[in-house]
Structure 1
Amino acid sequence: MSFHDIKPHLPWITLLVLVAIVGVSHPNFLKPANLVSMVADIMPLFIMALGMTFAIYIGGIDLSAQSVANMTTVIATVALPGLGLGAALVCVLAGLLFGAISGFVTTRLLVPSFVSTLAVGGVAYSLAQYLSGQRALYMDAGLRDASFGWMIGQSFGIPHEIFVGGVLLLLTWFLQSRTVFGRALKAVGAGELAAAASGLHVGRIKIAAFALSAMLAAVAGLLFSVKLSGGSPTLANGFLLPAIVAVLVGGTPLTGGVGGVVNTLIGTLIVAVIRTSMLYFEVDATMQQMVFGIILIVAIASTIDRSKMRIVK
C-alpha cells in the first residue's frame, strides 16, 4: 500500500493516534465528561473552520474570519437590548455582507483572496472598535438568557453548543454534497478554468463561498459572545490560525477541490486534542501559537496538490 492510498485516511488516523498518546499519558483525558467539555469548548472554532472550509475548498483563503467574529461579538452585545433574538439576524447579515465584499473584491477587482480578506478584516476590526468605543462590553445576563439561553444550556448532559455545531455541520454537508451549488464549488476548486469553460458562473460561486465563510464566522462570534456574555474587538483573537490548521489537517488542501466539511470536523477534533494535550503537558501559553504555526506548515506541505502549483512564489 502506497502513501497515496493512505493519504485520504491520515486525518482520522492522526486523531486516533493523538487520542491514544494523550490518553495513555493522562488517563483523565479519556473521561467522558472531559471529552464532552473539550468538544463543547471547541465549537466556536469549529463553526469558524466550517466557514473557512468553503473558501479553501475553492482554492482561496479567508483571513477576515477572526475579525468578522470579533466584530460580531460587539454587534451582538450592542444589538441585544433593542432587538433581542433579532440581534442574531443582524450578526448573520453583517457576516454575509463582509464575505460578499471579500468575494467581490477578489473576483471583480482581481485582488488575491489573502489580500482582499485581510483588508476586509481590517474594516471589520475598525467597525468593532468604533461600535465598542475600544473597550470590552458586557451583556445583561437576563437579556442574554431570554434570547440566547438555548445556545448555552444543556440537555441530557450534553451542552447545547454541540447541538448547534452538529446542526450546522449537517446543513453545510448537505449543501456541499447534495446540491448543485456544492458540485459547482468542487468544480471551481478542482479547476477554475475548466469550470468556467463548462459554463459555470465562477465569479458568483466564489462570492457565495466567501459570503458563507464570513457568515459562519459571524455565527461563531455570536456563540462566543453568548458563552462569554459580552463582546470586544479582540475577544476571538487567536482563532484564525487554529481554524486554518483545522481545515488543512482535516484534509482540505489550499489548492482546493478535495476534502470538505466532514474533514474539517476531524481536523477540529485534532486541534482540540492538541490544545488540550498542551495543557496536560504544561506547554507554555506563549509557545502554543508556535506549535500551531509548525503544524500549519506541515499540513500545507503534506496536503497541497503540487500538480496545480508548478511555481511557488
Structure 2
Amino acid sequence: MTDRVALAERLRRHFPWITLTTLTILVGFTDVNFLRPDNLLNLAADIVPLLIMAIGMTLVIYIGSIDLSSQSIANMATVLATIALPSAGVGAGVLVLAVGLAFGAVSGVVTTRLKVPSFISTLAVGGIALSVGQFASGQQALHMDAGQRLHAFGWMVGRTAGIPHELVVALLLVVVAWFIQGRMTAGRTFKAIGAGEPVAVSSGIRVERYKILAFALSGMFAAAAGLVFSVKLSGGSPTLAEGFLLPAIVAVLVGGTPLTGGVGGVINTVIGTMIVAVIRASMLYLNIPAMGQQIFFGLVLIVAIATTIDRSKMRIVK
C-alpha cells in the first residue's frame, strides 16, 4: 500500500509534464503544422503576458492566498504606460512597475493587517485599479506613437536569430522569480508560510511582512505583463488584458501549485502556462468561440482545484 502511495505521489509530481506532452502530440496529430518550430515560437511569444502574470500570481498562491487583482492591474498598466511614454520614455516602464508594486502591497496590507480574506482584498484593489485605468484613459483605447515606442521599448519587440525578444524578457523574469523562490530567504519563507502558517508564526518569522512582499511582487509582475502587452499592441486600454485572469489561475494550478500553497512554484507555472497555450491553440483549430473557451477554463479550474488542494489544511469549506 505504501509503495502504491509513493508511486502515485511521484506520478502526480510529473503529471504537468505528462499532460503537456500528451496534449502537444494530440494537437500535432490534428494539424501537423502545429509542431513546426516557427509556429511553436509564435505560440510561445503570444502567451508571454499571460506567463508573466501567472508567475507573479504563483508567489501569492504559493503562500496559500489568491490574487484576483492581476488582470485589472495589467489593464491599468497598459493605460499608464501609453500615457507616460511621451514624457518619460523608458521611464514609463519603471513607473508602471512601481505602481503595480504599490497596488500589490496595498492588497497585502489589507489582507494581513485588516484580516480581510485575500480574495476580497485583491478583488477590491483590482476594482480600484480598473477605475484608475478607466479614468486615466477616458474609457477609450489609447495608441502609442510608433517612433517613441521603438525608441523606448524597441528592445522588447522584434526578433534576433528568429527568437522573439519578448520571449527573452519572459525568460529573464522567470529566472528572477525562480531565484527569489529558490535562492532567497523570502522564497524559503513563502514556502514555510504555504506549508503551515501557524508553524511559521510560532518559529518567529515575520509572516505579515513576507505576505505583503508576495502580494507586492505579484502586483509588479502583473504590471510587467501589462507593459509587455502594451508594447506588443502599441497602445493601452482598461480592457486590453480582459479574459486573462482565469487562464492565469488555471496555469498556476494545473502546473502543480495548489491553492493551499507550500508546493509547486515558478517552474511548475511555466509548464502550466504551456499547457494553457496548447489548449487555447487547439480550441482555435477547432473554431471554439471565446465564450466556449472561458467555459472550458472554468471547468478546468474546478477540476484542478479539486485534484490538487490539500484538504488537511481546509477541514471546513465555507
Same topology, TM > 0.5: yes
Aligned counterparts of 1:310 and 1:133: Cα–Cα separation in 2: 47
Cα offset for 1:4?
2.4
In the alignment, structure 1 residue 21 sits paired with structure 2 residue 26: yes
2:249 aligns with one of 238, 244, 255: 244
State the alpha-carbon separation in 2 of the partners of residues 199 and 139 from structure 1.
49
Cα-to-partner distance string for 1:260-281 (whole Å, 9 max, x where unaligned):
0000000000000000000112
Give the letter aligned to residue 139 of structure 1. M
Shift of 1:218: 0.1
TM-score of the two chains, using structure 2 as the length reference: 0.97
Match of 1:126 among 113, 127, 131: 131
- Quote the residue 2:193 is aligned against: 188
Match of 1:19, as an amino acid?
A: T
**Partner residue in 2 for 1:79:** 84
Instruction: Report the Cα offset of residue 179 of structure 1.
Output: 1.0
Distance 2:121 2:65 in 1: 11
For 1:193-236, what per-residue CA distance to the aligned partner results, in whole angstroms no more than 9, with x for missing partners?
10010010000000000000010000000000000000011000
Matched residue count: 313
- 2:68 aligned counterpart, secondary structure: coil
C-alpha distance in 2 between matches for 1:85 and 1:33: 30
**Matches of 2:159 and 2:82, distance apart in 1:** 22
What residue in structure 2 maps to residue 306 of structure 1? Answer: 311
How much has 1:181 moved relative to structure 2? Answer: 1.0
Residue in 2 aligned with 1:167? 172
Amino acid across the alignment from 1:120 = V
Quote how far apart the aligned CAs of 1:238 are.
0.4
How far off is 1:153 after superposition?
A: 1.5
Shift of 1:299: 0.7
Letter matched to residue 57 of structure 2:
M
Q: Which runs of 5+ in 2 are unaligned?
A: none
Instruction: Name the amino acid aligned to 1:225.
Output: S
Which structure 2 residues correspond to residues 32-43 of structure 1 after superposition, within 5 A? 32-43=37-48
- Matching residue of 1:67: 72
1:138 to 134, 140, 143: 143
Shift of 1:285: 2.4
Amino acid corresponding to residue 21 of structure 2 in structure 1: L
What is the percentage of aligned positions where both structures have the same residue?
64
Q: 2-side partners of 1:312 and 1:286: how far apart?
A: 29
CA RMSD of aligned residues (A): 0.7
Indicate the residue corresponding to 1:53 in structure 2.
58
